[in-house]
């Protein structure tokens, strides 16, 4: 599925959910925030040699970047599955250096020359899930658990560019859209009306690939429908796709604000 199609579906769903004629029947949570994405790991393209692996921190010089994100959660009535959408931009660009010659794709880059890189893993999640009623009933509404399926669409791009010894420009890149089916688990603890502790997990492992995403959040409600939250998010990605091998993690704090209605 193309990225444009996924975004169209997501935006259509959000528009319907926010329509005044239907909002009375469902509970909606909308939030926007900033996540401090601290990367680590390595990436290579068309090579299994250790010398051709690019270390995210040492070679590419990537450091923590603060990026915006947004999410919409809709708790639906009856047997209709609940819906959860998250958009997470993720893009790093820097000038790097390496202590040896290395090959990326079909091009060899000389150790004496700097190079520019770009790594992008924008991703979009759409989860369909149910809250487990016996958990809420058994805790008098203080505890809630969610279980469902999540579709993650990853918009991936990796690029290395520079010049050869004759100052001719050289560039190698690969990009693809990767659909990733995942399990979704959620947990909410609400000891008092104005405070909630929340955890989310999305993940899958298959062949030599895995993708894990953990979110922990503390949410407070200073006003009736408005909330602010702070938390920590950790993603661990290992992919072998289209000759790209990447073993990367992203972690860091986030802050958000939103509304419940």
pTM of the model: 0.87
CA separation for the pair 221, 229 (Å, rounded): 9
106-120 pLDDT, tens digit per residue, is: 999 999 999 999 999
33-76 pLDDT, tens digit per residue, is: 999 999 999 999 999 999 999 999 999 999 999 999 999 999 99
Give the DSSP H or E segment for 151: strand 143-163
- Cα angle vertex 160, ends 158, 163, to 5°? 165
Q: Which contacts qualify for 223-228: CB closer than 8 Å, 24 or more apart?
A: 225/259, 225/260, 225/261, 226/257, 226/258, 226/259, 227/31, 227/257, 227/258, 227/259, 227/260, 228/255, 228/256, 228/257
Give the DSSP H or E segment for 12: helix 3-17
The domains of the chain, with CATH numbers, are 3-260 (2.40.128)
Distances in Å between the Cα of 125 and the Cα atoms of 42, 59, 95, 150, 256 are 24, 30, 31, 7, 18
CA separation for the pair 112, 123 (Å, rounded): 35
């Amino acid at each position: 599925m193309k990225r444009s199609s996924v975004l169209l579906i997501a935006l259509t769903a959000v528009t319907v959910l926010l329509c005044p004629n239907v909002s009375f029947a469902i509970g909606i949570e909308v939030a926007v925030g900033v996540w401090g994405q601290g990367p680590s790991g390595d990436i290579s393209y068309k090579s299994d040699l250790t010398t051709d692996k690019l270390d995210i921190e040492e070679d590419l010089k990537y450091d923590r970047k603060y990026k915006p994100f947004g999410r919409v959660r809709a708790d639906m009535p009856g047997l209709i599955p609940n819906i959860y959408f998250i958009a997470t931009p993720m893009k790093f660009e820097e000038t790097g250096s390496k202590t040896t010659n290395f090959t990326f794709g079909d091009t060899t880059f000389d150790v004496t020359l700097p190079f520019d890189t770009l790594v992008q893993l924008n991703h979009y999640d759409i989860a369909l899930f149910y809250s487990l009623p016996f958990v809420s009933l058994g805790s008098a509404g203080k505890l809630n658990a969610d279980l469902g399926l999540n579709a993650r669409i990853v918009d991936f791009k990796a690029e290395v560019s520079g010049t050869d010894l004759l100052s001719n420009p050289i560039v190698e890149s690969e990009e693809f859209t990767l659909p990733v089916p995942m399990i979704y688990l959620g947990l909410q603890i609400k000891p008092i009306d104005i405070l909630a502790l929340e955890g989310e997990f999305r993940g899958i492992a298959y062949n030599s690939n895995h993708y894990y995403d953990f979110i922990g959040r503390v949410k407070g409600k200073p006003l009736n429908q408005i909330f602010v939250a702070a938390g920590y998010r950790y993603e661990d990605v290992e992919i072998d796709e289209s000759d790209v091998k990447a073993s990367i993690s992203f972690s860091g704090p986030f802050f958000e604000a939103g509304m419940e209605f």
